Amino acid sequence: MIDRLIAGKTMEVVEQLYGQKPDERMVQVEKTNREYEGDYTIVVFPLLRISRKSPQETAEELGNVLLETMQVIESFDIIKGFLNLRLKDEFWLDFFKKTIREDKYGFSEPVEDRPVVIEYSSPNTNKPLHLGHIRNNLLGYSLAKILKANGHEVFKVNLVNDRGIHICKSMLAWVKWGKGETPESAGMKGDHFVGKYYVLFDKKHKEEIAQLVHRGYTEDDAFSQAPLMKEAKKMLRNWENADEEVLAIWRKMNQWAYNGFDATYARLGVDFDLINYESKIYLEGKEIVMNGLQKGAFYQHSDGSVWVDLTDEGLDEKLLLRSDGTSLYITQDLGTAQRRYEQYLPGKLIYVVGNEQIYHFEVLKKVLKKLDKSWYDSIYHLSYGMVELPHGRMKSREGTVVDADDLMDEMFETARKTTEELGKTDEFTESERKDLYDTLSLGALKYFMLKVDPKKNMLFNPEESIDFNGNTGPFIQYTYARIRSMFRKADTSPDEIIDQVDYSKIQMLPIEKELIRILYEFPAVIKLAGQYYSPAQVANYVFELVKSFNHYYQDTPILKRVDEETSRFRMALSYFTGTVIETAMDLLGIRVPEKM
C-alpha cells in the first residue's frame, strides 16, 4: 500500500537529512483530513526530536526531498506541522486500470500458518434462538469470512449445549404437563415447543418458591428446596447414570430442538463445518479434571467436589466438578478445548461468547495453563456486548426473550411495508417480491448488528434498521441495485465498457479521485477487520464508500450530458464501486439485489 511506501521513504529521508534513522513508530502516515488538499499526511511533530528544527522547516525539507524522489507525488502542502502530500492522478488511474478486473479484489493469498477455529452459536436445547444468538451467529459467521479473505484456513464449529439442569427443566415440565403433546400436534416449531415447557417449569417453580417463602424459608433455600427443582436435579443424575427412560425423553425433545435450530440457521444464512454436542464431550472434560486431580493440579473437598486454586493467577478458587459427580460448563469446556486442539492444531481458537463470560474464559485459560497445555494461549474470547431493545432487556425464563424467528418475520413484514410504500416493486412478480423482501430484511438485520463494534452493547431498533436512508443495510443494497440498473439502461455489459475506456484522455474530478482512493483502501480494511476480529470495520467502510458514490451519482452526469469517453470511465468507476460493495456485503453475510 502506498502509505507504507511513503512511511518507508520518509524514514530514509529523515536519516539522509538529519543523520539519524527514526523509530518506525515515529513515522505516522494518515489519510489527509477532508478539509485540506492532499491524499496522505505525514505527522511531523514526532520527528522534531531528530531534526531539531521547527515543524514548518522540518516539513518543508521532508516535502522537497519526497517530491524529488517519489514520482507518484505531485505536490505538497504544510498545515501547522502536518505535511499533506498530493499524489498524481496517474497513480490512481493506474491502480484503477490494473485492479478493476481483479478477481477477489482485497483478498490475501493463503498464509502458511495453523488454522483458525471459530466456535459460535452454542445454543441450549431448552429454548429457541433469540436476539442475542443472532448477534453471536452473525459475528462468528462474518468473522470466518473475513479471516478466510485474509488467507487463513478457518473451521466454523458449533457446540450445542444439549445436557444439564436447564434441559431437565424442559423435560420434567413436558413429562408432568405435556400429555403427549408434540410440535406437530401443537402446530409449533420444535425449538419453540421445547422452550414453552422451559417457561412453564419456571412458572410452576416460582409458585413453589412463593409457598415455601410463605412458610418461612429464605429465598435461596426455597429455590433449591422446591420439589420441582429437586426432581429436575434427580432427573439430571439419572441422565448421567444412563437411565434409559430419561434418555428416551431427552433424545426426543432434543431432536425437536435440533430441527428447529436447523431451520433458523438456514433462514439466517449461517452454517458450520462441524457441530459437536456437549452430551458427547462432557465425559472427556471430567476425565481431564480427574487426571489433573491425580497430578496435584487440583484438589478435592471432603464432599467429593473438585476445585482449582487460581489465587496465584490473580483469580480465585473455582469449582470444576460437583460433589455428586456432575459437571459444569468449565468441565465440558476443558474437554472441548482439548478435542479442538487434537482435531485441528489451531493457531487460534476463537470463542464467540457474550461479555458476561469474560471471567469464565480467563479461568479456562488459567486451568489449561495449570495442566501444562502449551497451547492455552491460543484461546481467544471474542466477547460481545448485550443486545437491548427499546423496551429493555430480555429474560428467557420468563418468556420475554425476542425470538429469532419472530424477529425475522417482523423484519420481513417491515421490509415489505416500507418497500411497497415507496413503490419500488410495482413491476416485480410475486416471487421476485418475496425474494427482495427477504434480502432486504436480512440485510437490515445483519448490517445493523455488525456495524457496531462487537465489544459494545447495542440497542436494536427494527424500524430504524430498515430505513432506506442513513447507515443501514437497505441503503447500501439500494445503491448496489442502482448501479446495476445503470447497465441495464445503457444496454451494455461491464466488460464492453471497461474494454473501451481510454485512460489517457481521462480528466478526473475530485470526487472521482476520492472514490478511487476509498476503493484503494479496501484490502487494508479487510486486514484490519481480521486483525481486530471486527466486522464493524467492513460495515463502516462500505457505508463510507456508498455515501461517496451517492454524492457522485447525484452531482455528476454519467450516462447523459457527457461525451462518450467520459461516460465510459464513469460507468467503469460505478461498476468497480458495485463489485466492492458486493464483496464487502458478502463478508458480512449479506446479499445484494440486482434490482429494487
Q: How confident is the model at residue 326 (pLDDT cuts 50, 70, 90)?
A: confident
Name the pTM for this structure. 0.92
Q: Is the pLDDT of residue 395 over 70?
A: no
- Residues 372-401 have a mean pLDDT of 76
The per-residue pLDDT for 325 is: 81
Q: Cβ(172)–Cβ(145) under 8 Å?
A: no
**Residue ranges of the domains in the chain?**
2-87, 404-587
Note the CATH number of domain 404-587.
1.10.730.10
The answer to whether the Cα torsion of 343, 347, 353, 355 is positive or negative is: positive
CA atoms in the 13 A half-sphere facing the CB of 57: 8
- Residues 516-529 have a mean pLDDT of 97
Residue 206, CA distances (Å) to 211, 225, 227, 432 in order: 9, 12, 11, 49
How far, rounded to the nearest angstrom, does the alpha carbon of residue 422 sit from its chain's CA centroid? Answer: 31
Residue for grid cell 454524492: 551
Q: Is the pLDDT of residue 399 over 60?
A: no
Mean confidence (pLDDT) of the chain: 93
First CA to last CA across the chain, in angstroms?
Answer: 36
Range in 358-362, 407-411, 477-481 with the lowest mean pLDDT: 407-411
Of 35-39, 280-284, 457-461, 548-552, which has the strongest mean pLDDT? 548-552
- Residues 276-284 have a mean pLDDT of 89
Q: How confident is the model at residue 561 (pLDDT cuts 50, 70, 90)?
A: confident
The per-residue pLDDT for 134 is: 95
At 499, the amino acid letter reads D
Q: How confident is the model at residue 401 (pLDDT cuts 50, 70, 90)?
A: low
- Residues 322-344 have a mean pLDDT of 90
Q: How confident is the model at residue 327 (pLDDT cuts 50, 70, 90)?
A: confident
CA–CA dist 452, 228 (Å, integer): 42
The per-residue pLDDT for 400 is: 52
- Residues 18-39 have a mean pLDDT of 91
Which among 159, 122, 192 is positioned nearest to 354, based on CA atoms? 122
* CATH superfamily of domain region 2-87: Arginyl tRNA synthetase N-terminal domain (3.30.1360.70)
- Residues 531-538 have a mean pLDDT of 97
Helical pair 522-531 and 564-587, crossing angle rounded to 10 deg: 10
At 205, the amino acid letter reads H
The per-residue pLDDT for 329 is: 86
Q: Is the pLDDT of residue 560 over 90?
A: no
Q: How confident is the model at residue 1 (pLDDT cuts 50, 70, 90)?
A: confident
The neighbouring-strand residues paired with 87 are 73
Range in 132-136, 332-336, 463-467, 474-478 with the lowest mean pLDDT: 463-467
Q: Is the pLDDT of residue 476 over 90?
A: yes
Burial 490-504 (b: 16+ CB within 10 A, else e): eeeebeebbeebeee
Residue for grid cell 472434560: 285
CA–CA dist 538, 526 (Å, integer): 7
The per-residue pLDDT for 393 is: 47
Q: Is the pLDDT of residue 532 over 80?
A: yes
And the C-alpha cell for 295?
A: 497430578
- Residues 375-396 have a mean pLDDT of 79
